[in-house]
Amino acid sequence: MSVQFKILIGILFTVATIVVLVIYGIGEDARMARYQKNFAARSVQAGAEYFETYCITCHGEKGEGIAGKGPALNRTDLLDLKGTPYLKLINWNGTTADFIRNTIAAGRPQFSKYYENENYQQHMPTWSQDYGGPLRPDQIDALVSYVLNWAPGENPPTVPLVTPTPGPTATPIPPGEILKAIPFPVTEAGPGDAVLAAGKTIYTKNCQACHGPELKGDGPGAAGTAKPPRNFTDCTAMQQFDLAMHHDAVVNGRPANGMPAWGKKLSDLEIWQVIMYERSPCQVYVPK
């Protein structure tokens, strides 16, 4: 076999390989689209199985909700993905998928004000393994896919969508008077281990989902918020965040940023305990 013939064979094989790759590439977008569609379908199917196992006892077989147990999920105000009326009402700035994912993963240790008159018997538990629940991240995602598969929803809102009238903003306590409002002794060294331990318990139950397990503002509930939750380990910022501002933020919330108000959910003692715990990484306990 001559060298020229070998070169010709090599060229022909190269051209044939290029032709095959071009033909394969032309259909790649369609194949990827089919793959993604099949993957999404499998995720919805898996989510349906998880929903039947873990969710129907409170939310109903088709997400219609059960009185006294859990709200409807298959409803127009939640699953109207374009208008997102419920998410706008609660000042959620992320996507519907993020909201549903965070709710399933971290649970709802406190009843939403939206449902305060519904007399539900128990709180939404945490389901993600990140919070001590039984489900892996992929199982949480499958549940999200299943719930979103109901979009735009079949049922009307459980509670009429009425934007609440803002109440008067509480007057912040002057820094010079702040210590008089704290129901336990506080020095520059702190309020004592018992207070910090109680504050940690309150924080873990109510605040960790957004502010993170290490108080760095990086919890999963932070996804999609207009402004990242406060990082309590940033000591430069905490030096400027005095006790009066901290107290006002916890009591009245920061609705524009997605921070709920805790003034009617926690006692005065609990509020000060969690404030002291949040200030413990930088040890800024007293007014400057």
Residue ranges matching CATH 1.10.760.10 in the chain: 175-279
CATH code at 175-279? 1.10.760.10
pLDDT for residue 104: 92
Q: Cα dist. 19→4, 8, 10 in Å?
A: 23, 16, 14
Lowest mean pLDDT among 41-50, 126-135, 179-188, 215-224: 215-224
Extract the tokens encoding 45.
């199917």
CA distance linking residue 18 with residue 16, whole number of Å = 5
In tens, the pLDDT along 246-279 reads 998 998 888 767 788 888 889 999 999 999 999 9
Look over the chain and give the mean of its residue pLDDT values, rounded to a whole number: 84
Asked: is 51-148 a CATH 1.10.760 domain? The reply is yes
Query: What's the helix, strand, coil split of the chain in %, to 5?
Result: 55, 5, 45
119 conformational bin, left if phi > 0, alpha if psi -120 to 50, beta if neither: left
Q: Cα dist. 164→89, 128, 255 in Å?
A: 9, 32, 12
